[in-house]
């Protein structure tokens, strides 16, 4: 069964750090773009970061460049999102996803269950 199971997240003060994890079962990361999206209350889901297939290069939304780092451990089939210098506007439910696109949610077929990240000011 293809699943993406997320962990991490929580409550942190502005300027703090959190790391999100996304463990894949079934299909691995091979031949897929692995991405992170977020959805704040009352807003649409937006792209955060991804590791593109096939070139394997990271891509980031402008709002998180220089603060967030996306990485993967293929031996563990796990995707990570290291979030530093967090801001209150980063507060959202974060989702990992597996697909064939990069920035468009519709290009992703499998989604994690979501995890809440709350940044207090």
pLDDT in tens, 20-35: 999 998 877 778 999 9
Q: How confident is the model at residue 58 (pLDDT cuts 50, 70, 90)?
A: very high
pLDDT of residue 48: 98
pLDDT of residue 52: 94
Stated as kind and residue range, the H or E segment containing 91 is: none
pLDDT of residue 25: 84
2/103: higher pLDDT: 103
Q: CA 62, 49, 31, 106 torsion: positive or negative?
A: negative
Stated as kind and residue range, the H or E segment containing 15 is: none
pLDDT of residue 114: 97
pLDDT in tens, 66-114: 999 999 998 999 999 999 999 999 999 999 999 998 899 999 999 999 9
Q: Do residues 59 and 52 lie in contact, with contact meaning Cβ atoms separated by under 8 Å? A: yes
């Amino acid at each position: 069964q293809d699943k993406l199971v997320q962990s991490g997240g929580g409550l942190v003060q502005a300027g703090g750090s959190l790391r999100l994890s996304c463990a894949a079962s079934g299909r691995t990361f091979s031949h897929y773009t692995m991405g992170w999206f977020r959805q704040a209350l009352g807003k649409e889901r937006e792209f955060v970061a991804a590791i593109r297939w096939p070139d394997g290069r990271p891509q980031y939304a402008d709002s998180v460049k220089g603060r967030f780092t996306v990485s993967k451990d293929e031996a563990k089939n796990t995707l990570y999102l290291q979030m530093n210098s967090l801001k209150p506007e980063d507060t959202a439910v974060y989702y990992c996803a597996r697909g064939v696109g990069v920035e468009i949610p519709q290009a992703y077929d499998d989604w994690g269950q979501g995890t809440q990240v709350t940044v207090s000011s």
